[in-house]
Amino acid sequence: MPGVDRGFPRPLDIVVTGLGAVTPFGWGVNALWDGARRGITAVGPFTRFDASRHRTHVAGQVPAGDDGKESSRRLSVADRFAVASAREAVASACLDLDSCRERTGVFFGSSAGGMLEGEWFFEAHIHRGTRHARRGLVASQQFNGPGDAVARAMGVSGQVETISSACASAAMAVGSALRALRRGDVDVALAGGSDALCQLTYGGFNALRSIDEAPSRPFRKDRMGLSLGEGAGVLVLETAAHAMARGAQPIAMLAGEASTCDAHHMTAPHPDGSGASSAIRLALLDAGVAPDDVDFVNAHGTGTPLNDAAEAAALKTVFGDRARSIPVTSTKALIGHLLGSAGAVEAVLTVLGLLLREVHPMPDTGALDPELGLDLVLGTPRALSRAACAISTSLAFGGANSVLVFTRQETA
Amino acid sequence: MKRPAAVLTGLGVVGAHGIGRASLQAALLAGRPIASEVDRSAGYHAADSSRLAGLVPKLDLARWLPPAEARRLSVPSRFAVAAARMALEDAGIASLDGRRVAVVLATAFGALLFTEKLVRQILEEGPESAQPFYFSECVANAAAARVAIALGARGANVTITEREAGPLLALARGAQEVREGRADLAIAGSADEMTELLHALLDRFRGTARAEGGREEAPRPFDAARNGVLAGEGAAVVVIEREDDAAARGARFLARVAVSGAAFDATAPVSDWGDGHTTLARALRAALARAGHGAETIDLIVSCASGARRGDRLEAATLAAAWGEARLPPVVTPKAVVGEYGGGLLAAAVLAAEGVPFGRPLAFETRDPSLSIAPHDGRPLAAPSRVLITALAAGGAAAWAVLERP
């Protein structure tokens, strides 16, 4: 990552010291940031499975990559994304895990785990009988597969917790890591999420008519639904005391988080966005910052008519008239909705936005929706005159909302 | 600043034993595995597979879940909503202001029946046949979301999926929600269903008990002849409140959540237990120490031992290492009765903390000489002051909690 002046946190703060990502833009954080800056969607035809009989035919697929020894092991696709991201994050944090294995936890989100491999098992079962269906395929199907795979690969023995709260899974996992660090349960957390494309989610969202036949256009007037994607993101989080003791340079601070629930409907957000606005307010309160301190928003921004309208309403509720002038972007417009790992990859980009003082754009396609009244970052990156605080929102199936607040001390 | 204490004020449970705490209490006292024949007609099972599971019988849940509401729910969602309402009634809460109510549920495998149906629709009949209803109910957080919708709970809504460790992680998270002031009340627990497919898969991993050597099929925690678990289903839900709040409304306290801790055994393979007892024991001791407790303050252990060969070995070795030269307190093994999954361990632990007696596990025959532990023989015990609950998951996750008498 480019060298940029970094702020100086207090010992009790929770800091971000490393980032890792595997996304449809490629393997690694640099590929993600470069792709995001270009503002051209990675969503398109894909080959992860045969989608010819599905209603739609585009998704954000991770390109083939060399993740070394991981690929030869019995890991699911989602596990491989997770482990590669974790290795990159730990390396970028210059973290020697030998010094803190028992005080390092893994907090991970996944919505589908290794469902892709579970489907391979089913296909074998259907076409060739149970005895020909390899049981190992199902072993990797578990929701906790990616998080456990990270802990196993990195050899850490602190708390490991997988959260499977649909599209808010990874954001909640990062939030859970923040709490565990504040309580002193762990000194270091590998927090993130991973999911791979699979027919269950692709077919399921299509059954709900939630997938756009074209790459998604969040917050645009002609938005028709989401695009699905796959990948993983991991943040190395530490207590500032731990980071300072080992001479690590914080990239940013994870200042606050909050979760709420709409308690309204399984698949539709509350139309007034009250659950989401409540989560944003509580997260800002947790971070000790005011709405006026927020410099940009990495929105959930799925591209479904209902989600984007509810989210815009939530932003207006919290930010008032400022909602029209805070830069808002949606990562999902570029790589698709990564479901259980979306919040992690979007957190990575939120941190990078603060670090590099720039908000990544969305593709500039489609008409603006004047009813939403948001300042969307379109086409080209938006340079920030102030980059001290940003939020990332994740709003899930079942009405679960999770918001993360990142801050970075402005240097003179 | 010292955090306020979190107390359990209500328990709701649905399991193979039936509905509610009384049926579970009776089952634990009887000590007999509650098992019934699994449907094997779909052809998933091998000819010599295990045949029994701790299946929830056809229960009349209408008092907790009207049929019109149940119709739209998956099996785990039904169990969870019914158990949540039961827990609130047990807590003496007739009406709930949901604005600051958190829901934290664990599930090991989610709504597998609906997942299987949806995958089959997509793969066999074609994606155009996929029913949206199955999809919205097969996400892992469907049960937690359904509980939130049913109760109007608008606090955090979290679903934890760490297999056998999930229920205790959910208990810990629920207690944290109220202790840290993020919620005034938390609904925490777990819900799972046991499908024909899951049972067959667990059997293929040699995870379920089988009839062997003239012994009938049964879970035998810590027994020399143990050869697998009784795969179960159900839900267990507790109501958690801050102690002062609960006292102010005159609530009955079931137990105080005194300690929670978690760790990971990186030696564990994906679907079995490892041999990292030394590391786990250190983590357990550290969790107790953080709360100002030593192992010597524990006077009953509600063990996760389930009859799994490697799992019970790891559990015994971890407890032995954690206690060192000190004498272990009595160890009870509720999974000998209620089986694995569905929250039976958590519910049994709450009852244990209340002083409910546990009978001798009837299937236990021969102590494993390689383990320094055997289940309690059923003799009456003094009501415990502090109960340690253990949860070691296949795959490596581990969690512990201590419940104490308020």
| Domain-located, residue B226 | yes
**In a mutagenesis test of the B interface, which of A161, A172, A277 is the best target, namely the one with the most B β-carbons within 10 Å?**
A161
* Angle subtended by helix axes A77-92 and A145-154, to nearest 10: 40
How far apart, in whole angstroms, are the C-alpha atoms of residue B98 and residue B153?
4
- pLDDT band of A3, cuts 50, 70, 90: very low
* A/B interface, count of CB pairs below 8 Å: 236
Q: Which residues contact A3 (CB under 8 A, 6 or more apart)?
A: none
Chain B window 336-375: which residues touch A at a Cβ cutoff of 8 Å?
none
- Sign of CA pseudo-dihedral A253, A254, A256, A262: positive
Task: Answer yes or no: do B108 and B167 share one domain.
Answer: yes
Per-residue DSSP letter, A212: -
How far apart, in whole angstroms, are the C-alpha atoms of residue B3 and residue A19?
33
A300 is catalytic: yes
Whether residue A8 has pLDDT greater than 70:
no
Q: Which residues contact B62 (CB under 8 A, 6 or more apart)?
A: none
The torsion angles phi and psi of B324, rounded to 5 degrees, stand at 60, -130
Count of the separate structural domains present in chain B:
2
For B335-372, b/e burial (b = at least 16 CB within 10 A) is bbbbbbbbbbbbbbbbbbbbebbbbbbebbeeebeebe
The torsion angles phi and psi of A139, rounded to 5 degrees, stand at -60, -35
Q: Which of A125, A203, A263 sits opposite B149 (nearest CB)?
A: A263
Q: Which residues contact B63 (CB under 8 A, 6 or more apart)?
A: none
Mean pLDDT across the stretch A189-214?
A: 97
Mean pLDDT across the stretch A259-265?
A: 96
Whether residue B405 has pLDDT greater than 60:
yes
Mean pLDDT across the stretch B393-406?
A: 96
pLDDT value of residue A412:
45
DSSP string covering B289-338, please?
A: HHTT--GGG--EEE----S-HHHHHHHHHHHHHHHTTSPPPPEE-THHHH
Task: Answer yes or no: do B176 and B288 share one domain.
Answer: no
Q: Does B69 touch chain A (CB under 8 A)?
A: no
Q: Which fold is adopted by the domain A14-407?
A: Peroxisomal Thiolase; Chain A, domain 1 (3.40.47)
Kindly report the nearest CA distance between residue A126 and chain B, in angstroms: 8
Q: Does B271 touch chain A (CB under 8 A)?
A: yes
Q: Which of B118, B163, B204 sits opposite A142 (nearest CB)?
A: B163
Mean per-residue pLDDT over chain A, rounded:
94
∠ Cα B186 B188 B189 (to 5°): 170
In 3D space, the residue among A152, A21, A16 whose CA is nearest the CA of residue A88 turns out to be A21
In 3D space, the residue among B257, B226, B241, B341 whose CA is nearest the CA of residue B9 turns out to be B241
Strand B331-332 relative to strand B157-160: parallel, antiparallel, unpaired?
A: unpaired
Task: Answer yes or no: do B270 and B358 share one domain.
Answer: yes
Q: Are B93 and B245 in contact (CB under 8 A)?
A: no
Using the beta-carbon criterion (under 8 Å), do B149 and A185 form an inter-chain contact?
A: no
Whether residue B213 has pLDDT greater than 50:
yes
pLDDT value of residue B293:
83
In 3D space, the residue among A261, A229, A247 whose CA is nearest the CA of residue A334 turns out to be A229
Last residue of a domain, one of B232, B255, B278: B255
pLDDT tens per residue across span B61-77: 999 999 999 998 999 99
Last residue of a domain, one of B255, B270, B292: B255
Single-letter residue type at B27? A
- Please tell me whether residue B169 adopts helix, strand or coil conformation: helix
The enclosing H or E element of B239 equals strand B234-242
- pLDDT band of A134, cuts 50, 70, 90: confident
| Beta bridge partners of residue A231, listed in sequence order | A195
How far apart, in whole angstroms, are the C-alpha atoms of residue A360 and residue A377?
7
The enclosing H or E element of B168 equals helix B166-179
Does the pTM surpass 0.90? The reply is yes
Using the beta-carbon criterion (under 8 Å), do A199 and B264 form an inter-chain contact?
A: no
| Domain-located, residue B1 | no
Q: Which of B115, B155, B395 sits opposite A144 (nearest CB)?
A: B395
What are the respective helix, strand and coil percentages of chain B, to the nearest 5? 35, 20, 45
| Domain-located, residue B123 | yes
* A162 contact residues in B (CB cutoff 8 A): 160-162
The tokens for B196 are 């024909």
A261 is catalytic: no
Task: Answer yes or no: do B180 and B272 share one domain.
Answer: no
Q: Are A81 and A231 in contact (CB under 8 A)?
A: yes
| Domain-located, residue B362 | yes
Neighbours of B253 (CB within 10 A): 17
Domain boundaries, chain A: 14-407
A198 to chain B: closest CA residue: B119
Single-letter residue type at B102? A
Mean pLDDT across the stretch B331-350?
A: 98
Mean pLDDT across the stretch B156-184?
A: 98
How far apart, in whole angstroms, are the C-alpha atoms of residue B203 and residue B50?
6
Task: Answer yes or no: do B42 and B156 share one domain.
Answer: yes
Using the beta-carbon criterion (under 8 Å), do A164 and B148 form an inter-chain contact?
A: no
The tokens for A85 are 């991201």
Q: Does B161 touch chain A (CB under 8 A)?
A: yes
| Domain-located, residue B298 | yes
- Please tell me whether residue A349 adopts helix, strand or coil conformation: helix
Task: Answer yes or no: do B278 and B235 share one domain.
Answer: no
Tokens 């907790």, residue located: B64
| Beta bridge partners of residue A160, listed in sequence order | A106
| Domain-located, residue B70 | yes
Task: Answer yes or no: do B244 and B307 share one domain.
Answer: no
The more confident residue out of A110 and B1 is: A110
How far apart, in whole angstroms, are the C-alpha atoms of residue A213 and residue A44?
10
Mean per-residue pLDDT over chain B, rounded:
96
Provide the percentage of residues in chain B whose pLDDT is more than 70.
100
| Domain-located, residue B273 | yes
How far apart, in whole angstroms, are the C-alpha atoms of residue B168 and residue A358?
42
The torsion angles phi and psi of B388, rounded to 5 degrees, stand at -90, 130
CATH, residue B91: 3.40.47.10
pLDDT tens per residue across span B226-248: 999 999 999 999 999 999 999 99
**In a mutagenesis test of the B interface, which of A141, A148, A183, A213 is the best target, namely the one with the most B β-carbons within 10 Å?**
A148
Kindly report the nearest CA distance between residue B31 and chain A, in angstroms: 31
Q: How many CA atoms lie within 13 A of B114 on its CB side?
A: 25
Q: Which of A145, A156, A398 sits opposite B157 (nearest CB)?
A: A398
Using the beta-carbon criterion (under 8 Å), do A203 and B118 form an inter-chain contact?
A: yes
Whether residue A72 has pLDDT greater than 60:
no
Neighbours of B285 (CB within 10 A): 18
In 3D space, the residue among B257, B273, B282, B354 whose CA is nearest the CA of residue B306 turns out to be B273
Q: Which residues contact A305 (CB under 8 A, 6 or more apart)?
A: A223, A224, A225
pLDDT tens per residue across span A281-340: 999 999 999 999 999 999 999 999 999 999 999 999 999 999 999 999 999 999 999 999
Q: Where would I find the H helices in A129-248?
A: 135-139, 145-154, 169-183, 199-207, 240-245
pLDDT value of residue A411:
58
* Residue of A198, A242, A270, A300 with catalytic role: A300
| Domain-located, residue B14 | yes
For A98-127, b/e burial (b = at least 16 CB within 10 A) is eebbbbbbbbbbbbbbbbbbbbbbbbbbee
* B77 contact residues in A (CB cutoff 8 A): none
- Sign of CA pseudo-dihedral A219, A223, A225, A227: negative
How far apart, in whole angstroms, are the C-alpha atoms of residue B375 and residue B146?
37
Q: Are A334 and A42 in contact (CB under 8 A)?
A: yes
**In a mutagenesis test of the A interface, which of B116, B129, B149, B157 is the best target, namely the one with the most A β-carbons within 10 Å?**
B157
Q: Does B173 touch chain A (CB under 8 A)?
A: yes
**In a mutagenesis test of the A interface, which of B131, B135, B171 is the best target, namely the one with the most A β-carbons within 10 Å?**
B135
Q: In this predicted structure, which of A64-78, A187-201, A394-408, B264-278 has the lowest mean pLDDT?
A: A64-78
A337 is catalytic: yes
Chain B window 98-137: which residues touch A at a Cβ cutoff of 8 Å?
98, 103, 107-110, 115-116, 118-124, 126-128, 130-132, 134-137
pLDDT value of residue A11:
66
How far apart, in whole angstroms, are the C-alpha atoms of residue B262 and residue B399?
4
Task: Answer yes or no: do B279 and B235 share one domain.
Answer: no
Last residue of a domain, one of B220, B255, B290: B255
Single-letter residue type at B238? V
pLDDT tens per residue across span B92-113: 999 999 999 999 999 999 999 9
How far apart, in whole angstroms, are the C-alpha atoms of residue B13 and residue B237?
6
Per-residue DSSP letter, B139: S
How far apart, in whole angstroms, are the C-alpha atoms of residue A146 and residue A83?
8
Whether residue A6 has pLDDT greater than 70:
no
Using the beta-carbon criterion (under 8 Å), do B43 and A130 form an inter-chain contact?
A: yes
In 3D space, the residue among A83, A52, A56 whose CA is nearest the CA of residue A67 turns out to be A83
The tokens for A411 are 């240097």
- pLDDT band of B323, cuts 50, 70, 90: very high
Task: Answer yes or no: do B164 and B269 share one domain.
Answer: no
DSSP string covering A238-265, please?
A: EEHHHHHHTT----EEEEEEEEEE--S-
Using the beta-carbon criterion (under 8 Å), do B145 and A266 form an inter-chain contact?
A: yes
Q: Which residues contact A391 (CB under 8 A, 6 or more apart)?
A: A280, A283, A284, A294, A297, A298, A350, A403, A404, A405, A406
A119 to chain B: closest CA residue: B119
Q: Are A378 and A56 in contact (CB under 8 A)?
A: no
Using the beta-carbon criterion (under 8 Å), do B138 and A206 form an inter-chain contact?
A: no
Domain interval for residue B368: 259-404
Kindly report the nearest CA distance between residue A53 and chain B, in angstroms: 6
Using the beta-carbon criterion (under 8 Å), do A261 and B156 form an inter-chain contact?
A: yes
Q: CA A167 → CA A175, A185, A396, B100, B218, distances in Å?
A: 14, 26, 5, 22, 40
The torsion angles phi and psi of B316, rounded to 5 degrees, stand at -65, -45
